[in-house]
Amino acid sequence: MTSRFDHFLAIDWSGAKGKRHKGIALAICDAAGGAPVLVDPGAGWSREDVLTVLQDLPPDTLVGMDLGIALPFADCDAYFPGLEDGPQDAKALWTFIDRLCRDDEDLAANSFVDHPRLAPYYRRQGLAEGAMFRCDNADHGRGRFRAAEHAQAAMGLKPYSNLNLVGAAQVGKSSLTGMRLLHRLGGRVPVWPIDPLPPDGSVITEIYTTLAAMQAGRSPARAKMRDYSELNDALGVIGSPPAQGSGPIDDHSADALITAAWLRSAAQRPENWEPAGLTPKIAQTEGWTFGAI
């Protein structure tokens, strides 16, 4: 299968407070096989800046965002079991989150996790685990998983629940802020698989940078690369030219660079677009992580 995309943009995302975020990095490469390069805004990225980029993409760009594009639904047949009038699909969830957080700076989501009706569904820093954080079948002790997280775990990865807000590897707030961004895009760019893969044009997908690093020859425990020599060795494994640079590199930039190059190769594999666990209902409610099969 030959990829129909001309560009591949990877976004390492952040749910941190504030306006400018060290945890956000963007890297892009082209279909012709060139090295991935960082996209540098000059003063650090805001989430609103990234929204602007996504509103004006190069034609036929596959965008990977390192976040969860929805919350668990299939395990309890609800995002928030017991919550009256809760959202019933991913796009309604994005609207729900954005409405509650409309006054939060730079697409932040603090108002959502602090809301008294929603806090019980989360594990939060310094507080007792919410009474609704787990579901009856979440016997691994890490909270509720989407079908995509179960697929990740089967591949040897160590995913976190999108309802977990504790620890350096948590993805809860970054996922919520990303869902606000997707809502603000207003359908301008399709989000696979919540939207069907169109025959042409740009598309956004969910990525997991550790998955890209693993498929570039790194173990999950050694997924973070902080030196250009390590990064370029991994790029070579997936058939990419080396990135320009030498010496230390921050792990957010390295994640974006390796994942942009990985997207270029992964987009050509049919199984990544047709994972076995992806049903129509899961596509509409939970989405999927590109490359989890």
CATH number at residue 250: 3.30.420
Model confidence over 256-286: pLDDT tens digits? 999 999 999 999 999 999 999 999 999 999 9
State residue 137's pLDDT score. 55
Among left, alpha and beta (phi > 0; psi -120 to 50; other), residue 53 is alpha
**Residue 11 belongs to what H/E stretch?**
strand 7-12
Range picked from 64-68, 114-118, 122-126 for highest mean pLDDT: 64-68
Instruction: Please give the residue range of the domain that contains residue 252.
Output: 7-68+187-273
212 assigned to some structural domain: yes
Model confidence over 93-112: pLDDT tens digits? 999 999 999 999 999 999 99
191 assigned to some structural domain: yes
205 assigned to some structural domain: yes
Model confidence over 248-258: pLDDT tens digits? 999 999 999 99
Alpha carbon distances (Å) from 222 to 23, 56, 67, 251: 19, 35, 20, 11
150 assigned to some structural domain: no
Residues 6+ apart with CB under 8 A from 111: 100, 101, 103, 104
128 assigned to some structural domain: no
Show the tokens assigned to 94: 């994005």
Q: How many domains does the chain have?
A: 1
State residue 128's pLDDT score. 65
Average pLDDT over every residue of 61-88: 95
Among left, alpha and beta (phi > 0; psi -120 to 50; other), residue 210 is alpha
227 assigned to some structural domain: yes
Residues 6+ apart with CB under 8 A from 24: 11, 12, 13, 14, 44, 45, 46, 47, 50, 252
Average pLDDT over every residue of 207-214: 97
Geometric angle at alpha carbon 222, from 211 and 30, rounded to 5°? 45
Residues 6+ apart with CB under 8 A from 69: 90, 175, 178, 179, 182, 191, 194, 206, 287
154 assigned to some structural domain: no
List % helix, strand, coil for the chain (3-state, nearest 5): 35, 10, 55
How many other CB atoms sit within 10 Å of the CB of residue 188?
12
User: Has residue 26 got a pLDDT over 90?
Assistant: yes
98 assigned to some structural domain: no
